[in-house]
Structure 1
């Protein structure tokens, strides 16, 4: 009997445990997962291409999302989605989501643009047939990440004014550093007062994408992300490895590090790009620009400019032009314009006298190039005069800047234990990388909202194979960070473009880069080696603002900039030559394709990873 009683006593708890195991707790997200995804005709103002709108394949939808996936009871917002429907629904493989970068970039329209472009693929060419097949077999999906665009928006602002800060690498005075610290506190406090910013981070955005995937009834999420979009794509893949399909990460952040680490590489990478790529190009065309026959001679002329004009160059397009080839070839015109404005100032002219003198100043002998330089010179002069006024600026951040601040500060904890550590790092960067160094104002140190939990990297058995693209001289996402992230991801394959400085590669325009991407999405095949190398395209011609006249001819080959990379590991080696870029004849209507490609590039460049905290400094200048 004692045995029977003993077993009876043991049985009761086991039965109770079994009963608990089969009882399912209500899913707090079930109402979001049960919502119906209702597609409707997009407003024509968000689909500017008439042909795209008339195709009948572009549709919009609004998705209700929780502010906080870990506490849905806090409330909800709406995320706007646009898709370009698969051309052959019976052969549909799923959807490809797009993110153009940021953080704070709006990708609402990007998927439809790619869909429209690829639907124009010429089936009589190898590349064109594959592009059209992509458009036939996938929905191409863009969305406005939470806080931006057509989704619920956020903003930061305060009545306090941001104080003037001098060009940081040339003024390390206590007064200037104090002004930078005060500005950092003002921005951080303003963004911390906005309650929705607490829920704007990469973790919630990744979960938004997964919710949309589920509502579209897809088992896997396929994805193409640029710049910050690589951080978002890697976050999603680590968070939901079993649901990640084909993932392309293009122009990669330091995916294995913190936000502080990733942005901390920018002063070094922009400095390298400016001295080696930009000034190397200028020196090769000294007959046009007269900046010197070596990049060192050209840099000496730049270095002699006053701080106000160096600041003006950064604020009037030089930094943004470093992101793509067509911009790189325009930068020397701006440098010549800056030297001319400096010459006018040295003649004793001030204020509006400077502006009056620009119109007749001989920047170039070529009339078209001279007109281009005059336009640049006016912008530089206005910025110079604003700088000289030392006027304060408003602390108002629109949705894009506010999301940038929220994600940069909210994704990962700071790697610094004190504000002085920021100052010490910034002081060293000012010496080593004077183009942008010294601007680490550290507003995230004062940010008040909690940080998200970055997911760990799954094991090689769980991590799906992903594909990565990276250029050697990418300025905002340094190759050092990209390669570090690549090595940290099991099963990753990288195509590396040697001697190239493009930020946002795909579509690059050569089969060496683009064909592996197409084969990956169409057939699931990856390059044979996990690290393969392509040669850069030569820099293009400098063309007039209006018309097609070539003011400086296109270069005939890609010039060696630094070390080369082989196909096994990032070590110096020789890269075999690749074929010439494929022509726009891969599209049925090359003229339309060219316009759409320009629009895609514009979106990618406008939403590319910002240059750290420079975006908050002297905003009116």
Structure 2
């Protein structure tokens, strides 16, 4: 699946994070948020709130004191927080969670802590805080709030899920996800099985306890130990699902919540994957229209239609499938269809990357040099120049495969669904359908199901949607805003994944005002 995380910021003040994604379980959303079962189903049940009183067995966690220390990054402090590995058995073992903060920098009445999460699942909130949020949020917000992040269980610095070595990950990311025959299908299935077995071998106990519900409960412990009566939070992409889950579990503890690039929790994995496939097609159509207006577009010239641009890109992918091209990579990797597709999809998250994509495609298509597309693909997977991968992809699969039953349980099911996926995206549909198969072989059964989140009694929650968002289609924001009893839908009419801090003064002003004085934007406000 391709992850839901906000892209690299276009300017210093941003709520976006580094560009990345993964070929683990793909996710997407439903057009209406209804409970139709036509594409895998959605649940009628709503997430139930937990009791307002803290169970005595959890008191030691809620009453713990954090020991802050220097992080090595100027201005930041770090600590380790404990949470129960299994909330049903609080005394049976703990999980250690990494926390970081940057104290409020200015005068004026302090507003407490502002917790941030860039999405994923699997994105490091602490890395995001240190690189962007701690300096990139508007000065007025940073002056009044302690900026805080916790890496969710299984992620980055919080007892990370581990699965494959760098060498084995290189092989995995090059696996053909558009199999042409039974042999290639078997090879893809084997790759998913090997990935799952690696996770099970290295992180067996942790895999059972990295759900979004558990991560949301961890956030409530953090809220308490920070001394905040209510949670103030900005979540992007998957971070919106985490934030909405918190609101559903603890509606009376909701402070000021911003959910930017919203997900729809009422959808099945298959429905989500199909809708996200359509989302990437929408983004590609925008790229195609822009590309042919540029003098350096390798996919067509002025007058070429988006459909023709798509055909030209598909033909290029097919060529790479048969004959990968050199990249100059130290590990000897060539650019095949899988890596090239990931590189193109990486650039769909942010229109600021379209120029880089044009250059990379030109080099690959006209000069037989795949280095540019490989750079985009590596940024997506968080692979460094030494061949090391972050645990992003491992955590992404672990959370998603626990949160929802698999989109597909066999190659036969994928093959039956291919027409629907290819209709949703003639360019990406086949590959994204097959990418939805990985959770079928996961070593741990899913504990979650699709559900609505109402959070009755919560304070106003701002839900942000971008009309041409590739990774979290706008329909998801519309659906989530209808589910949450106190939601205010804020719309950005434009391209890219997420909206806050990415160029719209209208969006930024509305969110900043909400964070600073608690006044949410009017329902249905639209910005461009």
Q: Report the TM-score, using the length of structure 1 for normalisation.
A: 0.64
RMSD: 3.3
Distance in 1, matches of 2:54 and 2:468, equals: 52
Does 2:474 correspond to 1:479?
Answer: yes
Instruction: Point out 4+ residue stretches in structure 1 off by more than 6 angstroms.
Output: 158-166, 377-380
Deviation at 1:98, TM superposition (A): 0.5
Distance in 2, matches of 1:109 and 1:82, equals: 9
Please, which of 154, 167, 184 is the counterpart of residue 176 of structure 1?
Answer: 184
Deviation at 1:334, TM superposition (A): 2.5
Distance in 1, matches of 2:270 and 2:220, equals: 27
Does 2:525 correspond to 1:532?
Answer: yes
**Cα deviation per residue 1:26-51 (whole Å; 9 max; x = unaligned)?**
72222222221121222x2xx2xxxx
Counterpart position of 2:63: 34
Distance in 1, matches of 2:440 and 2:373, equals: 37
Does 2:292 correspond to 1:280?
Answer: no
Deviation at 1:432, TM superposition (A): 5.0
Does 2:399 correspond to 1:407?
Answer: yes
Distance in 1, matches of 2:352 and 2:54, equals: 57
Gap change, CA 1:210 and 1:336, over 3 Å in 2: same
Please, which of 221, 227, 236 is the counterpart of residue 237 of structure 2?
Answer: 227
Deviation at 1:312, TM superposition (A): 6.1
Distance in 2, matches of 1:287 and 1:417, equals: 43
Counterpart position of 1:116: 135
Distance in 1, matches of 2:373 and 2:296, equals: 21
Gap change, CA 1:509 and 1:26, over 3 Å in 2: closer
Residues 88-237 of structure 1 mapped to structure 2, 5 A cutoff: 91-111=109-129, 113-118=132-137, 131-157=138-164, 167-169=176-178, 171-193=179-201, 194-237=204-247
Deviation at 1:97, TM superposition (A): 0.5
Distance in 2, matches of 1:330 and 1:185, equals: 34
Deviation at 1:480, TM superposition (A): 2.7
SS of residue matched to 1:256: coil
**Residues 83, 218 of structure 2: 8 Å contact kept:** yes
Does 2:415 correspond to 1:423?
Answer: yes
**Residues 238, 457 of structure 1: 8 Å contact kept:** no
Distance in 2, matches of 1:525 and 1:457, equals: 26
Gap change, CA 1:163 and 1:221, over 3 Å in 2: closer
**Residues 265, 450 of structure 2: 8 Å contact kept:** no
Deviation at 1:178, TM superposition (A): 2.4
Deviation at 1:287, TM superposition (A): 7.1
Gap change, CA 1:259 and 1:73, over 3 Å in 2: farther
Counterpart position of 2:8: none
Please, which of 484, 487, 493 is the counterpart of residue 492 of structure 1?
Answer: 487
Counterpart position of 2:320: 309
Residues 226-305 of structure 1 mapped to structure 2, 5 A cutoff: 226-274=236-284, 276-286=285-295, 291-293=300-302, 294-296=304-306, 297-305=308-316
Which of the pair has the greater relative contact order for Cα pairs under 8 Å at 6+ separation? 2
Q: Report the TM-score, using the length of structure 2 for normalisation.
A: 0.75
Gap change, CA 1:138 and 1:429, over 3 Å in 2: same
**Residues 472, 501 of structure 1: 8 Å contact kept:** yes
Deviation at 1:316, TM superposition (A): 6.7
SS of residue matched to 2:122: coil
**Cα deviation per residue 1:513-534 (whole Å; 9 max; x = unaligned)?**
1111011111111222x22221
- Report the structure number with the largest CA radius of gyration: 1
Distance in 1, matches of 2:373 and 2:133, equals: 36
Distance in 2, matches of 1:265 and 1:534, equals: 24
Gap change, CA 1:98 and 1:444, over 3 Å in 2: same
**Residues 167, 307 of structure 1: 8 Å contact kept:** no
Deviation at 1:291, TM superposition (A): 2.0
Gap change, CA 1:290 and 1:186, over 3 Å in 2: closer
SS of residue matched to 1:469: strand
**Cα deviation per residue 1:580-618 (whole Å; 9 max; x = unaligned)?**
xxxxxxxxxxxxxxxxxxxxxxxxxxxxxxxxxxxxxxx
Gap change, CA 1:149 and 1:424, over 3 Å in 2: same
Counterpart position of 2:332: none
Does 2:514 correspond to 1:520?
Answer: yes
Distance in 2, matches of 1:517 and 1:239, equals: 24
SS of residue matched to 1:320: helix
* Structure 2 residues not aligned, in runs of 5+: 1-52, 322-336, 379-387
